[in-house]
Chain A
Amino acid sequence: MKKHIISVLVENKSGVLSRIAALFAARGFNIDSLAVGETEDPKISRMTIVSEGEENVLEQVVKQLRRLIDVISVSDYTKKGLDYVGRELVLVKVDAPPSKRSEIIEIVDIFRAKTVDVSINTLSIEITGTDSKIQAFLDLMHNFKVREIVRTGKIAIVRENQSSGKKESKNE
């Protein structure tokens, strides 16, 4: 089963998120990640949802999303084969005793990550990037003692000349 990136434009109102989450839950779908934020129009929010499931069931979920009154448009980037730039931001807190510290900082540099907090025993690192870059970085960090990982969930923007779903009718 493929992971799908589904972008949903919704009215920026209370209660919308729980309606959308409930639809996924009702079909037994796990949401791998979900990122919500205001768009260029403050009355509209974009939700970027990463989920996996059987194609036909996922298609049904997308149709049901379109049926919600507060949903403006839904686009499954993966299904449509759209070319997009996907990014995620991750904060990692890792044990960094003096003996390991320079090794960790070296890796941070190679990945063009950023050290955002330092304490006697730990380093906190910020990294953004694609799935594979983040995965490679986290794999390396697991050679040290990772205390905490915080992820934003993936967001994505469709490359130029491709609409990220806005022009598409909700009832296509």
Chain B
Amino acid sequence: MKMTGAKAIVESLKREGVDTIFGIPGGQVLPLFDALYDAPFRFILTGHEQGAAHMADGYARATGKVGVCIATSGPGATNLVTGIATAYMDSAPMVALTGQVTRKMIGNDAFQEAPITEITKAITKHNFLVQDARELPEIIKSAFYIASSGRPGPVLIDLPKDVQTEEIEFKYPEKLNLNYKPVLKGHIGQIKKACELIHTAKRPVLYIGGGVIISGASELVYKLAEKIKTPVTMTLLGLGGFPSSHPLSLDMLGMHGTRYANYAVMEADLIIAIGARFDDRVTGKIDSFAPHAKVIHIDIDPTSISKSIDVDVPIVGDAKEVLKDLIANVKAPDTADWLKKINGWKKKYPLTYTKDNKLRPQYVIEEICDLTKNKAIITTEVGQNQMWAAQFYKYSLPRTFLSSGGLGTMGYGFPAAIGAKMGCPDKIVFDIAGDGSIQMNIQELITAVAYKVPVKVAILNNCYLGMVRQWQELFYKRRYSASDLKRNPDFVKIAEAYGALGIRVDKKKDVRSALQKAIKSPLPVFIDFVIEREENVSPIVPPGEALDQMIGGMA
């Protein structure tokens, strides 16, 4: 069938099962937008391209499908960069399409030209500059396959304008001719070695990360944990991978992890890492991380293994596949004494905060958790709001906690919430935000209102860049350099100006009714919670210290 490049792109996206696209048009993608005009996709016009990228990311993380975003050349494309880098660091599957100046103009400093494939080389899993329209079907099929397989990630396709208008004979390839073939099955010899270590361990800990959720291996982790009676700690992105309410759950470890998780890791004689990468926020001082432990590391990405710490038994493969074989072969160790010790820590050092009549952020999150019965999708911004959301919402399901863990992008949570809600319309979606972060992509209010996406934003407003202030308090003698946000605008009026619902809460007793009203409303809602200004996230492992050197968080 003869058609233009732009039509061929639309046809290819249809074959990939795309239903929703986020983006903004511009000069060099006009042919593509013309083809989108009668295409069967939901096109979501966003306020800013960064918003489009985070929405595609949120959609992808909530549904497991590939998120798609489109921007024009030059500034449109560079505005995607933070969103692409965010997706890359957290392995979210995404395909970004960008317009480009015509082929013969490339490299001539043309109007709205930027070398986006060069710019994004280090933050995409792969990218393409399409030089010949006939390659479009194969490139698009490859992009979706690369983005969604192995360790997922963003793929960018740069589309010169004249490639979009060129006529081609359209034929969608059935098979791809790629050298790239991720290893899924784990090496059975290695799995048997792992089983031996597990069987003889006395103080084992399962340490699970985002890979468990991406792979859809949560149920298998549950099976394994129960079979080998081993406690489970989660990284930030691993939250939801194992139910927090389970007796074997240690909740989150690391810099703002629970005392019991960090103590367990420091005393463990075996760490079983699954889909986690020993990030510095998890390990603390790397030389003293888990000093008595042997390490089994299951990961689909060989570059994650032995990157930060030495691994005794590496297993390259997909978490789901490896766990199936592991569960079939493993024999349970005797962990009765170990679990007793851990339960002692859990009783002695629960996660807690000052329970008085003041409006504290942890209380707001506990109430959200209670009202949504642990089943809402929670997105976060970055900083204190993110850590409180990780600590005090008790996740029970995978794909319900979406947060920029690797890159730490403020401004992620609100657009990600919109994307997640579009992918999962039956879920309640909350963005737990700070007053600083929410202003980094606040323009997406118009997107939420225009497309009637009733996401709820709980702004934990302390009129500070709260985590910066906390570090300044603890490590910089309370010199609050550039972290005071008393200048904040009126968030209720902003919400109203866009056509959303705005609610202000400054008393603890009003929290629940405000949340109920927000959940009931058919509109997007901003709730401005005026919280205790100098509330800290605790416990905290000071930077450069070992995990058991925590400050705060004692009952």
A contacts, CB < 8 Å to B: 11, 14-15, 18-19, 22, 26, 56, 59-60, 63-64, 66-72, 170-171
Residues of B within 8 A of A66 (CB): 302
A15-B117, A171-B316 in contact; A69/B178 too (CB < 8 A)? yes
Find out whether the CB atom of B179 lies under 8 angstroms from the CB atom of A67.
no
**Residue among A18, A66, A69 with most chain B CB within 10 A:** A69
B450 at the interface (CB under 8 A from A): no
Q: List 10 A-B contacts (CB under 8 A).
A: A15-B129, A18-B121, A19-B121, A63-B303, A67-B303, A69-B146, A69-B178, A72-B179, A171-B182, A171-B302
B181 at the interface (CB under 8 A from A): yes
Interface residues of B in 290-307 (CB under 8 A from A): 301-303, 306-307
Interface residues of B in 304-328 (CB under 8 A from A): 306-307, 316
Q: Which residue of B lies closest to A73 (CB)?
A: B179
Known contacts A56-B306, A66-B302, A69-B126; can you find 11 more A-B pairs with CB under 8 A? A18-B118, A22-B122, A26-B122, A60-B303, A63-B302, A63-B303, A64-B303, A67-B301, A69-B178, A170-B179, A171-B182
B111 at the interface (CB under 8 A from A): no
C-alpha gap A72/B179 in the complex (Å): 6
Residues of B within 8 Å of A, CB-based: how many?
21
* Among all A-B residue pairs, the 7 with the closest Cβ atoms: A69-B126, A63-B303, A72-B179, A171-B183, A69-B180, A63-B302, A64-B303
**Residue among B179, B181, B183 with most chain A CB within 10 A:** B179
Residues of A within 8 A of B146 (CB): 69
B203 at the interface (CB under 8 A from A): no
- Bitwise, B136-167 to A at CB < 8 A (1) or not (0) is 00000000001000000000000000000000
C-alpha gap A63/B183 in the complex (Å): 14
Find out whether the CB atom of A22 lies under 8 angstroms from the CB atom of B307.
no
Total contacts A-B at CB 8 Å: 41
Residues of B within 8 A of A59 (CB): 306
Give min CB distance, B332 to chain A, whole Å.
32
B277 at the interface (CB under 8 A from A): no
Residues of A within 8 A of B421 (CB): none
C-alpha gap A14/B126 in the complex (Å): 13
Find out whether the CB atom of B307 lies under 8 angstroms from the CB atom of A69.
no
Residues of B within 8 A of A56 (CB): 306
B125 at the interface (CB under 8 A from A): yes
C-alpha gap A57/B27 in the complex (Å): 44
Residues of A within 8 A of B307 (CB): 60
Residues of A within 8 A of B303 (CB): 60, 63-64, 67
Give min CB distance, A81 to chain B, whole Å.
20
C-alpha gap A26/B303 in the complex (Å): 15
Q: Which residue of B lies closest to A172 (CB)?
A: B302
C-alpha gap A63/B311 in the complex (Å): 15
Residues of B within 8 A of A26 (CB): 122
C-alpha gap A67/B303 in the complex (Å): 8
Residues of A within 8 A of B178 (CB): 69
Q: Which residue of B lies closest to A65 (CB)?
A: B303
C-alpha gap A70/B155 in the complex (Å): 14
**Residue among A66, A71, A170 with most chain B CB within 10 A:** A170
Q: Which residue of B lies closest to A71 (CB)?
A: B179
Give min CB distance, B260 to chain A, whole Å.
33
- Bitwise, B97-126 to A at CB < 8 A (1) or not (0) is 000000000000000000001100110011
Q: Which residue of B lies closest to A9 (CB)?
A: B179
C-alpha gap A19/B122 in the complex (Å): 8
Find out whether the CB atom of B179 lies under 8 angstroms from the CB atom of A22.
no
C-alpha gap A68/B307 in the complex (Å): 17
Give min CB distance, A42 to chain B, whole Å.
16
A22-B122, A67-B301 in contact; A171/B117 too (CB < 8 A)? no
- Bitwise, B182-209 to A at CB < 8 A (1) or not (0) is 1100000000000000000000000000
C-alpha gap A29/B301 in the complex (Å): 22
Residues of A within 8 A of B302 (CB): 63, 66-67, 171
C-alpha gap A67/B88 in the complex (Å): 14
C-alpha gap A51/B152 in the complex (Å): 30
Find out whether the CB atom of A11 lies under 8 angstroms from the CB atom of B122.
no
Residues of A within 8 A of B118 (CB): 18
Q: Which residue of A lies closest to B180 (CB)?
A: A69
Residues of A within 8 A of B306 (CB): 56, 59
Residues of B within 8 A of A67 (CB): 301-303
A18-B118, A22-B122, A69-B125 in contact; A11/B301 too (CB < 8 A)? no
C-alpha gap A18/B119 in the complex (Å): 12
Residues of A within 8 A of B316 (CB): 171
Residues of A within 8 A of B129 (CB): 14-15
C-alpha gap A67/B301 in the complex (Å): 8
Q: Which residue of B lies closest to A170 (CB)?
A: B179
Give min CB distance, B493 to chain A, whole Å.
46
C-alpha gap A170/B301 in the complex (Å): 12
Give min CB distance, A62 to chain B, whole Å.
9
**Residue among A14, A59, A66, A171 with most chain B CB within 10 A:** A171
C-alpha gap A72/B180 in the complex (Å): 8
Residues of B within 8 A of A11 (CB): 179
C-alpha gap A149/B375 in the complex (Å): 69
Residues of A within 8 A of B131 (CB): 14
C-alpha gap A66/B126 in the complex (Å): 13
C-alpha gap A18/B118 in the complex (Å): 9
Q: Which residue of A lies closest to B182 (CB)?
A: A171
Residues of B within 8 A of A22 (CB): 121-122
Residues of B within 8 A of A19 (CB): 121
C-alpha gap A132/B122 in the complex (Å): 37
Q: Which residue of A lies closest to B151 (CB)?
A: A67
Give min CB distance, B299 to chain A, whole Å.
11
Give min CB distance, B182 to chain A, whole Å.
7
Give min CB distance, A20 to chain B, whole Å.
11
C-alpha gap A128/B146 in the complex (Å): 43
C-alpha gap A25/B182 in the complex (Å): 25
Residues of B within 8 A of A72 (CB): 179
Q: Which residue of B lies closest to A59 (CB)?
A: B306
C-alpha gap A77/B303 in the complex (Å): 20
Q: Which residue of A lies closest to B146 (CB)?
A: A69
